[in-house]
Amino acid sequence: MSFCIAVDGPAGAGKSTIARGVAKDMGIVYVDTGAMYRAMAFHLIQKGTDLEDQAAISRDCQDAEISISHIDGEQVVLLNGENVTPHLRNEEVSRKASLCSTNPDVRKRLVALQQKIAQHTDLIMDGRDIGTCVLPDARLKIYLTASVQTRAMRRFTELSQKGEDCDLKTIEKDIADRDYRDMHREISPLRKAPDAVELATSDMTIEQVTQTVLSLVLEKRMEALTEEIDTAASPKCASASGSREADSAECGIDSDESAGDAERRQHRWK
Ligand code: DC
């Protein structure tokens, strides 16, 4: 049974920094799902797809084979076999990833990939819909937030340190626009799962957030261990909790999962 941690929150809340730190500390895999949406956006940019045209996105996303691997603990994204990781972190790709992530066919493809990766691997996965849709039965769910101003300032500092020319007000507006799109889209909008722990990070250091998450992980590890011992002591198979039907409905994605797959999932995630 794999141990999964879901981390969600708006752009710039520190998800990737925290998830990467926790993954390293625990020796588990970090999966950055935003990079998959970025790779899809990169693919659509290369094809010249009109990102205001949902039918064109649905058509053109079909020939993007996206996969990930890890080199020295860092995630690498492959698009049709080519490593596109160096092309994913710029403002054009950020904007277009947000646009194409509203498309149901894009989400269906990427969510299926994310769920497949989580099936047999202990991991921490970050994104916008991980706790609500991708891993509704994750052992621990974290929802990270920070004010728009704080997030814009973090991004401004990061870009300035790289020597990139940038404007704080433009970054602030971009972040606010992306928040609005991510939170108001029809399918899998960004929202806190009811059972997620919310951490407001505006006044916290990276170290403080990482330590807070690590202590929550420890608690959940102990809980999982106790359950395993209890299950071993009593051979009855625990039945699943949670409703896949309700989760699929909230995600707005038709599930291709077979009844057998669903049953195996349910027994894996108690
Ligand atoms: O986390 P990020 O900024 O790299 O994500 C890029 C875009 O992808 C973001 O605008 C929202 C979208 N996204 C999503 O819709 N669902 C996810 N699980 C991850 C990212």
SS (H, E, C) the chain: CCCEEEEECCCCCCHHHHHHHHHHHHCCEEEEHHHHHHHHHHHHHHHCCCCCCHHHHHHHHHHCCEEEEEECCEEEEEECCEECHHHCCCHHHHHHHHHHCCCHHHHHHHHHHHHHHHHCCCEEEEECCHHHHHCCCCCEEEEEECCHHHHHHHHHHHHHHCCCCCCHHHHHHHHHHHHHHHHHCCCCCCCCCCCCEEEECCCCCHHHHHHHHHHHHHHHHHHHHHHHHHHHHCCCCCCCCCCHHHHHHHHCCCCCCCHHHHHHHHHHCC
Q: Strand 140-145: give its sheet, edge to edge.
A: 29-32, 123-127, 4-8, 140-145, 197-200
The per-residue pLDDT for 244 is 44
pLDDT score recorded for residue 263: 41
| CA of 157 relative to ligand 1 center, distance in Å | 21
pLDDT of residue 258: 44
Ligand 1 centroid to Cα of residue 40, in Å, is 11
Residue 139 is predicted with a pLDDT of: 96
Residue with tokens 């047999």: 120
Q: How much distance in Å is there from the Cα of 103 to the middle of ligand 1?
A: 12
pLDDT averaged over 10-residue windows placed end to end, the chain, 270 residues = 93 93 95 97 97 97 96 92 95 91 96 96 96 97 97 92 91 92 91 97 94 96 91 68 47 53 35
Measure 204 CA to ligand 1 centroid, in angstroms.
Answer: 23
Atom 18 of ligand 1: nearest residue by CA position: 127
Task: For residue 245, report the distance from its CA to the centre of ligand 1, in Å.
Answer: 24
- In degrees, rounded to 5, the angle at the alpha carbon of residue 238 between the alpha carbons of residues 233 and 242 is 145
What pLDDT is attached to residue 73?
81
Distance from Cα 172 to the centre of ligand 1, integer Å: 17
Residue 76 CB contacts under 8 Å (≥ 6 apart), including other chains: 68, 69, 70, 83, 85
Q: Which residues line ligand 1 (CB under 6 A)?
A: 11, 33-34, 37-38, 97-98, 101, 127-130, 178, 182
Question: Which pLDDT does position 162 carry in this prediction?
Answer: 86
Pocket test residue of 98, 105, 186 for ligand 1, highest count of atoms within 8 A of CB:
98
pLDDT at 72: 84
Residue nearest to atom 6 of ligand 1 (CA): 34
